[in-house]
Amino acid sequence: MSFSHISHLSCAKCSLVFKPDEVQQLCRCGSPLLVNYDLAAISMQLKPEHFLKRRNDLWRYHELLPVKNPDNIVSLGEGMTPMIPMKKIGTEMGLPKLWMKDEGLSPTGTFKARGAAIGISKAKELGVRRLVMPTNGNAGAAWSLYAAKAGIEAVIIMPVDAPPFIRSEVAATGSRLFFVNGWISDAGKMAAKAAADFHLYDASTLKEPYRIEGKKTMGYEIAEQLHWKVPDVIIYPAGGGVGLIGIYKAFRELQQLRWIDQDKMPRLVVVQSAGCAPIVKAWEEGKTQSEFWDDAKTVAFGINVPKALGDFLVLKAIYETNGVALAVNDHEILEEQKRIVQTEGAFVCPEGAAAFLAARKLSSAGLVDQNDAVVTVNTGMGLKYLNADVPDIPVLQRDEYISNFHDD
Amino acid sequence: MSFSHISHLSCAKCSLVFKPDEVQQLCRCGSPLLVNYDLAAISMQLKPEHFLKRRNDLWRYHELLPVKNPDNIVSLGEGMTPMIPMKKIGTEMGLPKLWMKDEGLSPTGTFKARGAAIGISKAKELGVRRLVMPTNGNAGAAWSLYAAKAGIEAVIIMPVDAPPFIRSEVAATGSRLFFVNGWISDAGKMAAKAAADFHLYDASTLKEPYRIEGKKTMGYEIAEQLHWKVPDVIIYPAGGGVGLIGIYKAFRELQQLRWIDQDKMPRLVVVQSAGCAPIVKAWEEGKTQSEFWDDAKTVAFGINVPKALGDFLVLKAIYETNGVALAVNDHEILEEQKRIVQTEGAFVCPEGAAAFLAARKLSSAGLVDQNDAVVTVNTGMGLKYLNADVPDIPVLQRDEYISNFHDD
């Protein structure tokens, strides 16, 4: 049995077919390419129980991934992040069956490691030597490190007002880094020009077909970790939206493989910040693609994406699964983050907190209920969004003792 | 079969026996207590292959852990961190069989999560309501979060010159935090006084018996991930040394269980910084315990421990396994950290880099060779040691393009 059962690439819009053995970027029509597999062959030979004995990372699904030769795997231990029951805060919200898929336990501390692992491994397989990537920061950190491991040169372009620790992290990885006084969309334009001028592989979101394949493993894992039962709802904080597109693709593939219920898809919920909510606006208006969001601004920096290339795929995933898109305010996000830390001990990132907040709002509105198994995706560690300013904390001298440890 | 096969506690020095069902701190003789299990009963009923179907975290070893009732488990998905082959840098060092046990993929980004998970779960089982902990930072962050999840009040005392990121993290967890203008040893004295004055559980290193049990799971995992083959060498950066004591205990237990070779222990190597090397000094002098190290100072802040309560256990583990203790310089540590990022894409912490540097030095000195399977323990993410200062990086305006991405 082949290591990978990749068959071909196809355009997500016009369905034009491309070969998987050479570098491909966008379709001629300007749309992203999706990876296809020989699912019939896989379902004949592979059963869910076979995964029990496999390596404990996303490479356990190798038949369903694009890398053909295992020698090309570039891995830092990504995938198989925990699914954590969030009983205390879930019960408080009226959702006793609330789970968190905690992507904070990934190399570089965010789910971006999945896309980077598959994207870089496949780039290595295709002979790529140099790439360029626009990023809000976390993807840049991940791609830099995997590129270093693969021996691929990486040029990273990111907004200068990214969170300070993420800026420092990307700088520490040793890639060639540029800051831009603007948004990720500006970084994207610079990346496109640099790719053309210097013959670089453009690793922008959805401009290479393999990052989705990394992200989709979140869907496989959610299914496997729930013993191949489909959850009722999955809530995802969407910037570029690749994670959601990937999760949707994963559940459709699992249906074709007959490893899950044929009749049930999870309802896919997108949450964005009110300061940058192009997909929510499009969904509310019943549209199939979004408009550029001017002056985008949110504390949840990873989802500060004014216009996503894959917006139409995100919207399709919501419509086809009877999902919802909703926006939440920054101050509410930060309050929710604090509640989660203090009740569940989980130091989630603002994007992850937005997903919990969405669960809370959907529960209040009666759009999900206590019988629903609800999975929130925490896309990264809260840690990465800290700054070095420490709040007012008492400093004791060596000969002092604590006289009273309560605030009063 | 019982969930836990804990039998009793015993003093590591005078062997006095204690009951496991009530709060215990140090032995009357001032030494740490160790946890004992009914290993004979476990070995009759449990086989290594049974773990394949179990949950993918350290709780898979529950018979060998102290928590009796699974309802008391406080988990954030800790354990089963990846073992990553480090072929490029290993080959360069003359150690093609070099592995990294990457504890950076833990809740809170460090191996401290293991001790906190078991320590807090058992504290919950014993009815503890309030605890105090002196820390260099990472343990404080971990214990704060697990305590929050368990509903236990935590008082954390740490040196004010801890890395800024870690200070911010502990502050963000919502525990009652104090800084001390001194070393962890000063924080320890304050903790002891606060424990006595306010009737707090003293969760200082080795003053409660269960943290070791969390840390020892690193040893079980290394064995399981190497398919129950014992590696030749394990290199560990030692501060308080609990991880090494735990790994030693784990391999001894695995021998008694007959799950590994009866005749082979891994050689246990301790690395410390030349700025704080009390255990190295003791080992070089052939002593069985260390002396207080004055004016301790190192960039590897987690191992800046002038005198460890469990020093005698660390030294015993080195002597009994034909191990080594060695000190390395801070500037070499930072160089090694950079090399690892740039060749292996692994952003290890300074303590982890020290372990790789130790491997390099032992290889140069002929103390380990190319046939040896060598495991380095990277105790946490490099990320946590960053500061918010970004090096000199070009900032482009929105209408600019990259004209040349090479430094020249």
User: Each residue of B151-203: pLDDT tens digit?
Assistant: 999 999 999 988 888 888 888 888 899 999 999 999 999 999 999 999 999 99
For residue B201 the two structure tokens come to: 């559980």
How far is the C-alpha of A337 from the C-alpha of A352, rounded, in Å?
Answer: 8
> Model confidence over A288-303: pLDDT tens digits?
999 999 999 999 988 9
Residue tagged 């070499």 (tokens) = B332
Asked if B81 has any chain A CB less than 8 Å from its own CB, the reply is yes
User: Which value does ipTM take for this structure?
Assistant: 0.94
Helix or strand (DSSP H, E) at A255: helix A242-257
Residue B388, pLDDT score? 64
Contact across the interface for A394 and B186, Cβ inside 8 Å: no
Average pLDDT over residues A183-209: 94
DSSP alpha helix (H) spans, A57-200:
87-93, 112-125, 138-150, 164-172, 184-198
Instruction: Return residues 360-399 of A near B (CB < 8 Å).
Output: 381-384, 386-391, 393-398
Report the distance separating Cα B216 and Cα B64, nearest Å.
10
- Which residues of chain B have a CB within 8 Å of the CB of A157? 396, 402
Q: Do B345 and A386 touch (CB under 8 A)?
A: no
Residue spans of the domains in chain B: they are 77-384
> Do B401 and A193 make contact, defined as CB atoms within 8 angstroms?
yes
What count of Cα atoms within 13 Å lies in the side-chain half-sphere of residue A220? 24
pLDDT band for A211, please (50, 70, 90 cuts).
very high
Q: Residue B407: what pLDDT?
A: 53
Given this model, what pLDDT does residue A388 score? Answer: 64
A407 falls in which pLDDT band (50, 70, 90)? Answer: low
Interface test mutation site (partner B, options A50, A89, A101, A108, max chain B beta carbons within 10 A): A108
Tens-place pLDDT, residues B354-376: 999 999 999 999 999 999 999 99
Alpha helices in A153-238 (DSSP H): 164-172, 184-198, 211-225
**Model confidence pLDDT, tens digit, residues B48-65:** 999 988 999 999 999 999
Only one residue has tokens 């629903």, namely: A372
Q: What is the pLDDT of residues A86-123, one digit of tens each?
A: 999 999 999 999 999 999 999 999 999 999 999 999 99
Question: Are A296 and A265 in contact, with CB atoms under 8 Å apart?
Answer: no
Confidence at residue A171, expressed as pLDDT on a 0 to 100 scale: 85
Two structure tokens written together for B205: 């290193």
* Section B3-25 average pLDDT: 96
Q: What is the mean predicted confidence (pLDDT) over B12-26?
A: 94
Decide if pLDDT at B11 tops 80.
yes
Contacts of A327 (CB under 8 A, 6+ apart): A271, A272, A273, A274, A277, A280
**Which pLDDT does position A390 carry in this prediction?**
64
Cα nearest neighbour of B396 on chain A: A180
Tell me which residue has tokens 């990876």.
Answer: A35
Place of tokens 């086809």: A320
When CB atoms are compared, the residue of A74, A176, A405 closest to B405 is A176
Please state which of the ranges A15-19, A387-391, B136-140, B218-222 shows the lowest mean pLDDT.
A387-391
E-strand spans in A12-152? 17-18, 33-37, 83-85, 98-102, 130-134
Task: Calculate how close chain A gets to B391, using CA atoms only, in Å.
Answer: 7
Within 10 angstroms of residue B362's Cβ, the number of other Cβ atoms is 24
Q: How far apart are CA A358 and CA A350, in angstroms?
A: 12
pLDDT at position A408 is 44
Q: Does B243 touch chain A (CB under 8 A)?
A: no
Alpha-carbon gap, residue A177 to A158, rounded angstroms: 8
- How many whole angstroms separate alpha carbon B35 and alpha carbon A80? 31
Encoded amino acid at B385, one letter:
Y
Q: Would you tell me which residues 112-171 of chain B have a C-beta closer than 8 angstroms to some C-beta of chain A?
A: 144-150, 155, 157, 160, 164-165, 167-169, 171
pLDDT(B268) > 70: yes
What does pTM read for this prediction? 0.95
CB contact under 8 A, A149 and B104: no
Residue whose tokens read 């490893």: A259
- Could B102 and A76 be called an inter-chain contact, meaning their C-beta atoms sit closer than 8 Å? yes
Residue B36: pLDDT over 80? yes
For position A406, what pLDDT does the model report?
Answer: 64
Tell the residue number behind the tokens 């991880």, with chain if given: B243
Please check whether residue B368 is in contact with residue B233, taking contact to mean a CB–CB distance below 8 angstroms: yes
Number of other CB atoms surrounding residue A273 within 10 Å: 26
Average of per-residue pLDDT values in chain B: 94
Q: Would you state the structure tokens that stand for residue A196, as one six-digit string?
A: 């053309």
Please say if the pLDDT value at position A191 is more than 70: yes
Both tokens assigned to B378? 């990277």
Q: How confident is the model at residue B408 (pLDDT cuts 50, 70, 90)?
A: very low
For A395, which residue in chain B has the nearest alpha carbon?
B179
Query: What pLDDT was estimated at residue B391?
Result: 64
Cα dist from B226 to A276, B78, B220, B374, whole Å: 47, 19, 10, 11
Tokens matching residue A133 = 């990537």
pLDDT of residue B19 exceeding 50: yes
Residue A405 touches partner B, C-beta closer than 8 Å: yes
With 90 as the cut, is the pLDDT of residue B294 above it?
yes
Residue B406 has pLDDT above 70, yes or no: no
- The pLDDT score that the predictor gives to residue A209 is 97
CB contact under 8 A, A344 and B146: no
Distance of alpha carbon B20 from alpha carbon B39, whole angstroms: 16
CB-based contact A160:A127 (threshold 8 Å): no
What SS3 string covers chain B? CCCCCEEEEEECCCCCEECCCCCCCCCCCCCCEEEEECHHHHHHHCCHHHHHHCCCCHHHHHHHCCCCCHHHCCCCCCCCCCEEECHHHHHHHCCCCEEEEECCCCHHHECHHHHHHHHHHHHHHCCCCEEEEECCCHHHHHHHHHHHHHCCEEEEEEECCCCHHHHHHHHHCCCEEEEECCCHHHHHHHHHHHHHHHCCEECCCCCCCCHHHHHHHHHHHHHHHCCCCCCCEEEEECCCCHHHHHHHHHHHHHHHHCCCCCCCCCEEEEEEECCECHHHHHHHCCCCCCCCCCCCCCCCHHHCCCCCCCHHHHHHHHHHCCCEEEEECHHHHHHHHHHHHHHHCCCECHHHHHHHHHHHHHHHCCCCCCCCCEEEEECEEHHHHCCCCCCCCCEECCCCCCCCCCCC
Percent of chain B with pLDDT over 70: 98
Residue B10, min C-alpha distance to chain A (Å): 32
Least confident of A167-171, A277-281, B19-23: A167-171
Which residues sit opposite B10 in a β-bridge? B17, B34
For residue A270, the SS3 value is: strand
A108: distance to nearest CA of chain B, Å?
8
**What is the CATH number that goes with domain B77-384?**
3.40.50.1100
Mean pLDDT, chain A, as a whole number?
94
User: Is it the case that residue B18 has pLDDT exceeding 80?
Assistant: yes
Query: What's B287-314 look like in SS3?
Result: CCCCCCCCCCCCCCHHHCCCCCCCHHHH
Residue at B294: amino acid letter: D
Determine the topology of domain A83-108+212-385 in CATH. Rossmann fold (3.40.50)
Query: How far does the CA of residue A387 sit from the closest CA of chain B (Å)?
Result: 7
Q: What percentage of chain B carries pLDDT values higher than 90?
A: 87
